[in-house]
Amino acid sequence: MAMVYLYELAHGRSGDKADTSNVCIYARDPKDYPFLKRVLTVERVKEYFGDIVKGEITRYDVDTLCGMNFVMKHALGGGATHSLRLDSLGKSMGGMFLRMKVDTDW
Amino acid sequence: MKKVSIGGGQGFWGDSPDAAIHMVRHADINYMACDYLAELTLSIMQRQRLKRPEAGYARDFIGMMKEIGRDAKEGNIKILTNAGGMNITGCVDALKEALLAQGVQDYRIGYVTGDDMMGQIDELMAQGVTFENMDDPNVGDFKDIREKLVNANVYFGRQPMMECLDGGADVVLTGRASDSALFLAPLAREFGWKDNDLDQLARGIMVGHMLECGGQGAGGNFLYDWRSVPRMDELGFPIAEVTEDSLHITKAPDCGGLISEQSVKEQFLYEVHDPANYITPDVTVDISHATIRNAGPDRVEVGGIKGKPAPDKLKLSLGYHAGYKVVTYLPFGWPDAYEKAQYAADILMKKMRRKGMQYEDIRIDYLGVNALHMSLAETSPEMLKNLNECVLRIAIRTKEKKDAALIIPEISPLQLNGPPGACFFGGRSHVEDVIGLWPTLIPRDAVKLQSHILEVK
């Protein structure tokens, strides 16, 4: 079993709209894209973020870019100035996502 | 074949002007667009304006134009910006003054009014508009926030800005123009794109999308490989070169930054939700089959962008008073930095309970441990035990201002009255207003935008 940080296989960026956070995730190498699609299910991502993301998560695939866009509702502690989080805009959500450990033998 | 070049000069209110100044002086561009408005910006500007009637717009833009107003005019570079914020005429007056002081002549300032809908809310309610929250209809009833509204601004598209350009504007100033429409307007006018040229309009919107965050489209905030970005101290901002059938992203000569497949990709889906339905006032964009490929040093070609008809309604962004908030910090050093910070939090919470503080929400974090990654932060008992330093952060949201204020005088005394090694920094905290956001949809015919031209001679 080879557990690696997703960061080794993917890159991306997080953004905010009110209390919704989106994280786009791209394969660093196109050959890993099918693996990433298989492993990064909505259920897996929802479980990973746990209490941090309180709402629904939707994944949109853009195969031509070897990328996926995860849209996560109620993910920023209330959004905007409502949020008490240090990172109320979720700038670090991308890094948090890529910190997930994935099993490359899976 | 006709080619139009447009640069992105600012990514937000407070951005550095350096890249915009460099771009105007050294890049071969026809237009530069500067986005100043994030979601909350207009609420902040409106509160500034209520305190000082001459405020309420992005003064940064005036400072920048003092540097490059003359250069842009002489280089025939037209500038579009939503710097007008909540006080467009105030911004126009300040710009006129700044241009006259530089001796710039024969200048035309175009500006757009009508996005401020605050005066029409009751009328629209009477017409049956419900202002349902478009993000989540279950968050509550609009009537509960009606009396707490701070601002109400509608996102609008390219049309009134094109009218300003038709009138010979050297600069176009707006309030809540949608960020990407600042870029679409000159492109649609140059190429004569019509309402039914949906794929072309969508390309123009994506030019805006890739450029509207400034440096973030040219190697800033680049997770792929930030070490590979040259000269971040002179980071250039992105420039789009557009023809009828090609779209290249590049940057000015002799500046830092990076334009690559990966740097453009990271911006491409940033703050997009459904890539097949990216909704703007001008067109619904479909980038679900888009392509991005390297086309030379610091040059990327983007293709496969499609358009669908624009939505029937326009987005109205409402800001409303949602209570108060206070954030305090207290750092501790080794030994036992983390344990002492936890103990200080406990002391403060006991004191607040005794003083009867009422709160809506409270959050306790430890900077250096888990303030950013929260429950996903990786820690171990050894790491926590041997931390060099740790900053306690307590954030509290309250209904009443007096409750938020209770904790403020209790922080500094912990240097003498609490566990050893606390150091107070940053001065006393202040109670801040909390502004809630309430996005909603309104009928297009409720919005009456007007374009104007002011001649500066």
pLDDT tens per residue, range B293-337: 999 999 999 999 999 999 999 999 999 999 999 999 999 999 999
B361 and A84 within 8 Å at the Cβ level: the answer is: yes
Strand partners, A26: A11, A67
| Chain A CA closest to residue B269 | A24
On whether both B160 and B40 belong to a single domain, the answer is: yes
On whether both B74 and B182 belong to a single domain, the answer is: yes
Chains A–B, number of C-beta pairs less than 8 Å apart: 143
Residue B61 C-alpha, separation from nearest chain A C-alpha, in angstroms: 24
In a domain, B122, yes or no: no
> pTM for this structure?
0.96
On whether both B59 and B164 belong to a single domain, the answer is: yes
In a domain, B28, yes or no: yes
Residue A99 C-alpha, separation from nearest chain B C-alpha, in angstroms: 8
With a cut of 90, say whether residue A12 has pLDDT above it: yes
What's the confidence (pLDDT) of residue B137? 85
What would the mean pLDDT of B26-47 be, rounded to a whole number? 95
What would the mean pLDDT of A64-89 be, rounded to a whole number? 93
In a domain, B186, yes or no: yes
Cβ–Cβ under 8 Å, residues B226 and B256: no
**Two tokens, residue B394:** 């307590």
Q: How confident is the model at residue B457 (pLDDT cuts 50, 70, 90)?
A: confident
What would the mean pLDDT of B32-48 be, rounded to a whole number? 93
Q: How many CB atoms lie within 10 A of CB B231?
A: 13
Q: Which residues contact B172 (CB under 8 A, 6 or more apart)?
A: B78, B79, B80, B81, B110, B111, B112, B161, B164, B165, B182, B185
Please tell me the distance from the alpha carbon of residue B181 to that of residue B202, in angstroms, as a whole number: 10
- Cis peptide bond upstream of B335, omega within 30: yes
Coil vs helix vs strand at B203? helix
With a cut of 80, say whether residue B425 has pLDDT above it: no
B374 and A65 within 8 Å at the Cβ level: the answer is: no
What would the mean pLDDT of B74-95 be, rounded to a whole number? 97
Single residue among B311, B337, B358 that ends a domain in this structure = B311
In a domain, B424, yes or no: yes
What would the mean pLDDT of B256-281 be, rounded to a whole number? 98
Please tell me the distance from the alpha carbon of residue B89 to that of residue B108, in angstroms, as a whole number: 14
On whether both B216 and B281 belong to a single domain, the answer is: yes
Q: What is the CATH number of the domain that holds A92?
A: 3.30.70
Q: What is the CATH number of the domain that holds B395?
A: 3.30.70.360
Single residue among B311, B334, B353 that ends a domain in this structure = B311
Q: What is the mean pLDDT of chain B?
A: 96
The answer to whether ipTM exceeds 0.95 is: yes
On whether both B84 and B218 belong to a single domain, the answer is: yes
What's the confidence (pLDDT) of residue B426? 78
In a domain, B450, yes or no: no
Domain count for chain B = 2
Q: What is the mean pLDDT of chain A?
A: 95
- Which of A24, A80, A98 comes nearest B39 by C-beta? A80
Q: Which residues contact B323 (CB under 8 A, 6 or more apart)?
A: B360, B397, B398, B399, B434
Please tell me the distance from the alpha carbon of residue A73 to that of residue A57, in angstroms, as a whole number: 6
On whether both B244 and B345 belong to a single domain, the answer is: no
On whether both B250 and B278 belong to a single domain, the answer is: yes
- Which of A48, A60, A86 comes nearest B274 by C-beta? A60
What's the confidence (pLDDT) of residue A1? 67
**Two tokens, residue A69:** 């866009």
Single residue among B254, B282, B311 that ends a domain in this structure = B311
What's the confidence (pLDDT) of residue B119? 95
Domain count for chain A = 1
Q: How many CB atoms lie within 10 A of CB B279?
A: 18
Please tell me the distance from the alpha carbon of residue B179 to that of residue B171, in angstroms, as a whole number: 16
Supply the range of the domain harboring residue B393.
319-435
In a domain, B216, yes or no: yes
Please tell me the distance from the alpha carbon of residue B29 to that of residue B6, in angstroms, as a whole number: 6
Strand partners, B328: B394
Q: How confident is the model at residue B78 (pLDDT cuts 50, 70, 90)?
A: very high
With a cut of 90, say whether residue B136 has pLDDT above it: no
In a domain, B140, yes or no: no
In a domain, B277, yes or no: yes
On whether both B74 and B38 belong to a single domain, the answer is: yes
On whether both B10 and B90 belong to a single domain, the answer is: yes
Supply the range of the domain harboring residue A23.
3-102
A86 and B365 within 8 Å at the Cβ level: the answer is: yes
Residues of chain A with pLDDT > 70, as a percent, come to: 99
pLDDT digits 0-9 by tens, B269-290 = 999 999 999 999 999 999 999 9
On whether both B239 and B299 belong to a single domain, the answer is: yes
Q: Which of residues 306-335 of B touch A (CB under 8 A)?
A: 322, 325, 327
Residues of chain B with pLDDT > 90, as a percent, come to: 95
What's the confidence (pLDDT) of residue B51? 93
